[in-house]
Structure 1
């Protein structure tokens, strides 16, 4: 390895002797989903500096989802999560596109008060995932003093997940922006794209175009651009592909720096919330999801996420019980308190391979972003069907899923959940992205999983 760094040509000559005529590219390089080719070895990138993001040596915020349909049990979940060290909560209502058959039923201020009973609201971070009822719930939360509240309003995400763009959404965005409470107002969310199978570059492009759309709308409603940019945050899916996840978060920050520069804005770190990917979870042998979640959360932390939520390892099987939620919570505690992953600012800085992946994703994301903007922006490409077609054009084949399509259990043990998950059978509405977990085709029968039984 040292010889390779000093003299790549000599190293390649030595490798050619070992390959005995076989293709260097075929044997030793790999093609990334967006088309860039990853080399087997890289020298350290000279002069590389950390990408500004989460404050140095500061841990990310541990977020736990509240998604039990009944208010009293959901409140119990939140109190247990916060007593167990969570620094914030995501209030996922029944109308959230990420409720997945569950979500807290919040229809009155009394419901919300019951959900947050006993919670020190001004001491934690609260994220709303309320879909079309965001404004209504946000008004009920408006009495909170202190703390950080992210409204999570994402009308473009609602278009992507339901096929319907909320009417009057610019007005809703303006009202929320004028009542901002320390956090972000609008969220450019990459999760729908990731769940639909988009490549990392296309996922980044979609988030970038959505965020720019939100900036334009806020500016048009009278907000100064300097104020508007602090109203926009990002949510991103983190999966078990560690290096790609690290590079994706880093590329997002670099891409937004380009947007800020184009808008004549001084650089200011964006807020990125990461959630472990729904798409990577398997109903079969769900214990393997603990490992996937650990890898994904570690990658998100190393990539500079400001907050992270881990979906419990049994989430694909149903509504997670207290044990699964505790495992999800403590996974993050281990990464922060034992592994100390937060201590170094942007540890990937200067790493030849990770810098190359970051640059490749940044270039792919920018190219796709330009393609989207040439067609009038993210709303237009969803409504025209171009985005759906582009996802299919670039779709990668499903790889190995341990416990699902390789080394599957001969007999699946019973999985403890509070309520079983609804079947994955619903067809998406017209224009909506088709979102599905990768393991679904292998979950119908044990014999569908090749590679031997464990």
Structure 2
């Protein structure tokens, strides 16, 4: 008998000594530990998506799930779109460069490529994305949020020295997809780029632009005509380059949940297939050039399930259009901005690390990791290096390129994937019932959907059921805000206007791909393309845009108000803890109170405990605070709260007296004695801090 067999037999004998517990046994043991508290209330978790998470997942949790047998690379598989995962090639590191000038963009891009980046992201500035040359752009539009790329010469500068076959190239063109396609085609011809080997995508998403801006610069149908023209242009020049973009970023920034985001990008994909189908392009051809971009949020497993569920749903959509040879989903991702903060911004590094880890486990083919300071300023070299090196750590140190679909087979992940598919498909059908995503947006249904999820998340944050480190918990009251460096937009306008020469007499034909590329080669600007191709320009399809506010913004208004108060008065707003008796009595609630009000920017005085009410009131008056929080335990409150509250009100009639804890059946008598309000575990942290700051004389900015 071999040594291995002996070891196996010994293990079986050892395990036989222990009874195999059933789920019922485990649940009974858990209920005993809960000591009468409801199992469903304590052990089940309801998410923003409306999905209930179980405390434990078992083999029975995934029985009968149809996707379990699918292998990576299969069209309908939730696993990687590549059969070998990242074994053959890792994901592309596609970091954003915010420089508005083409030469500066090129300088930063070449530096980034030398340091490990493997893709170029060309996000257009507001002017270019609206088809405006620098000389005709509105104030603050040139260089805003991206690169000023008005003509082929600019693209040449931006990509000078780049080996196209070694990287992927990605565009965020806004409404300028036709000129960008013409510029890229001309650039490829001049640089003798092998069109089959050029990787990347345009991510042309006019619906995404529309929902974010609340309007289009040209009519909706004309925008779809532009998309069709770009499709025809690429068809003969760049056969493998992505074109149609279905981005979840606008919906994520509006507060949409993972299920909302997935449902809405699916609805986008269907709308593009239908619109291009009306213009003579087969659904299968549209699917091949469609690229999805997902925002990566803070709920790790939910975001992972979202990416995996998307592949199943995308296969189902292709099947519904009768596509005989469906295309595996091309999925890219970007760490989200919704949960990022301007206070304690270095915590954003931790957030983007877990989010990017999630994206890699989800099998994304390209990934953009936001910099920790992107919500404050134009990122510096340090911030860019940290974000870029996160890719390297995940690939080289975590060795995530050496495994294929490491999340596959997890009972939790597989079960959650199935639930996300079902929930997102149901919500997608609701959008379809409204007439598709365009009609749903016009009717306000998209805003309503995202708004409900946002309100739920905001409520959880305000009640501290969801934590943002440095914002509603563990606020750092001694930190210095980052310097909000911004580009010299005015100087950039003058520089770019002088560099770009227009050709107002240019003649091009939207249905003639050759003329479009020729025009680009001759120096046509985005403005020239607009004048030649679009007789109707202006403001069209005006609909209230999706509200884009970060989750932390309300709390940041509180902190900014406290900072402004300190600058004006020399000291921050004060709050005094009236601690009762010895430390062991008041510490728990005093610590809770200090954490609770730190998120509002209060300077909190934490004295030793008091036994005498008059002494406590005198110390409070001497502190200069307007808010007193009495901290102790319930048995102390029964005897001490009333005399302490009366003493405080007698010495400082205008002060605000707060009880740390719930008063229970003593609320009426406590209020009669002088209690103005109380805080406890279910209190609204934001509203309470706002109220107390205003009582302390702090002016607070508008809340979102």
Q: TM-score, normalised by structure 1?
A: 0.92
Could you tell me how far 1:134 is from its partner in structure 2? 2.3
Q: Output aligned runs, 1:271-290, within 5 Å.
A: 271-290=330-349
Q: Output aligned runs, 1:209-228, within 5 Å.
A: 209-228=267-286
Q: Quote the residue 2:203 is aligned against.
A: 152
Q: Quote the residue 1:67 is aligned against.
A: 98
Greater shift in the superposed pair: 207-216 or 113-122 = 113-122
Provide the alpha-carbon RMSD of the alignment.
2.6
Question: Which of 26, 29, 40 matches 2:44?
Answer: 29
Q: Quote the residue 2:671 is aligned against.
A: none
Q: Quote the residue 2:472 is aligned against.
A: 405
Equivalent-residue separation in structure 2 for 1:370 and 1:313 (angstroms): 37
Question: Which of 235, 244, 262 matches 2:320?
Answer: 262
SS in 2 for 1:438: coil
* Structure with max Cα Rg: 2
Relative to structure 1, the CA distance from residue 101 to residue 278 in structure 2 (aligned partners, 3 Å threshold; closer, same or farther) is farther
Maintained 8 Å contact 1:67/1:93: no
Relative to structure 1, the CA distance from residue 420 to residue 109 in structure 2 (aligned partners, 3 Å threshold; closer, same or farther) is closer
Relative to structure 1, the CA distance from residue 394 to residue 283 in structure 2 (aligned partners, 3 Å threshold; closer, same or farther) is closer
Question: Which of 418, 432, 437 matches 2:550?
Answer: 437
Relative to structure 1, the CA distance from residue 17 to residue 336 in structure 2 (aligned partners, 3 Å threshold; closer, same or farther) is same
Q: Output aligned runs, 1:81-96, within 5 Å.
A: 81-95=112-126
Could you tell me how far 1:18 is from its partner in structure 2? 1.5
Could you tell me how far 1:6 is from its partner in structure 2? 5.3
Equivalent-residue separation in structure 1 for 2:418 and 2:142 (angstroms): 34
Instruction: Structure 1: give runs of 5+ residues left out of the alignment.
Output: 423-428
Question: Which of 306, 313, 317 matches 1:248?
Answer: 306
Q: Output aligned runs, 1:93-108, within 5 Å.
A: 93-95=124-126, 101-108=144-151
Question: Which of 239, 242, 259 matches 1:201?
Answer: 259
Instruction: Structure 2: give runs of 5+ residues left out of the alignment.
Output: 1-14, 72-77, 131-140, 490-541, 564-594, 602-704
Count of equivalent residues: 447
Q: Output aligned runs, 1:25-424, within 5 Å.
A: 25-44=40-59, 45=62, 48-49=68-69, 50=71, 51-55=78-82, 56-58=84-86, 59-95=90-126, 101-143=144-186, 144=188, 145-146=193-194, 147-165=198-216, 166-167=218-219, 168-180=222-234, 181=238, 182-265=240-323, 266-395=325-454, 396=456, 397=458, 398=461, 399-415=466-482, 418-419=485-486
Maintained 8 Å contact 2:242/2:291: yes
Could you tell me how far 1:179 is from its partner in structure 2? 3.0
Equivalent-residue separation in structure 2 for 1:230 and 1:4 (angstroms): 54
- The structure with the greater share of residues assigned to helix is 2
SS in 1 for 2:204: coil
Relative to structure 1, the CA distance from residue 292 to residue 104 in structure 2 (aligned partners, 3 Å threshold; closer, same or farther) is same
Maintained 8 Å contact 2:97/2:109: yes
Maintained 8 Å contact 1:318/1:421: no
Equivalent-residue separation in structure 2 for 1:184 and 1:4 (angstroms): 56
Equivalent-residue separation in structure 2 for 1:432 and 1:105 (angstroms): 24
Greater shift in the superposed pair: 144-153 or 44-53 = 44-53
Could you tell me how far 1:14 is from its partner in structure 2? 1.6
Question: Which of 21, 25, 35 matches 1:20?
Answer: 35
Maintained 8 Å contact 2:99/2:143: no
SS in 2 for 1:78: helix
Equivalent-residue separation in structure 1 for 2:343 and 2:142 (angstroms): 21
SS in 1 for 2:109: helix
Equivalent-residue separation in structure 2 for 1:439 and 1:249 (angstroms): 25
Relative to structure 1, the CA distance from residue 169 to residue 75 in structure 2 (aligned partners, 3 Å threshold; closer, same or farther) is same
Could you tell me how far 1:99 is from its partner in structure 2? 10
Could you tell me how far 1:255 is from its partner in structure 2? 0.8
Could you tell me how far 1:351 is from its partner in structure 2? 1.1
Could you tell me how far 1:154 is from its partner in structure 2? 0.5
Maintained 8 Å contact 1:188/1:207: yes
Maintained 8 Å contact 2:297/2:355: yes
Equivalent-residue separation in structure 1 for 2:280 and 2:299 (angstroms): 42
Could you tell me how far 1:5 is from its partner in structure 2? 8.5
Maintained 8 Å contact 1:314/1:417: no
Relative to structure 1, the CA distance from residue 393 to residue 240 in structure 2 (aligned partners, 3 Å threshold; closer, same or farther) is closer
Equivalent-residue separation in structure 2 for 1:309 and 1:99 (angstroms): 23
Maintained 8 Å contact 1:278/1:437: yes
Cα deviations by residue, 1:195-229 (Å, 9 ceiling, x for unpaired): 00012111111100100111112222222222221
Relative to structure 1, the CA distance from residue 250 to residue 99 in structure 2 (aligned partners, 3 Å threshold; closer, same or farther) is farther
Cα deviations by residue, 1:3-38 (Å, 9 ceiling, x for unpaired): 998511111122122222211111111002121211
Maintained 8 Å contact 2:244/2:286: no
Equivalent-residue separation in structure 2 for 1:106 and 1:93 (angstroms): 7
Maintained 8 Å contact 2:81/2:363: yes
Equivalent-residue separation in structure 1 for 2:478 and 2:150 (angstroms): 42
Equivalent-residue separation in structure 2 for 1:248 and 1:451 (angstroms): 36
SS in 2 for 1:245: helix
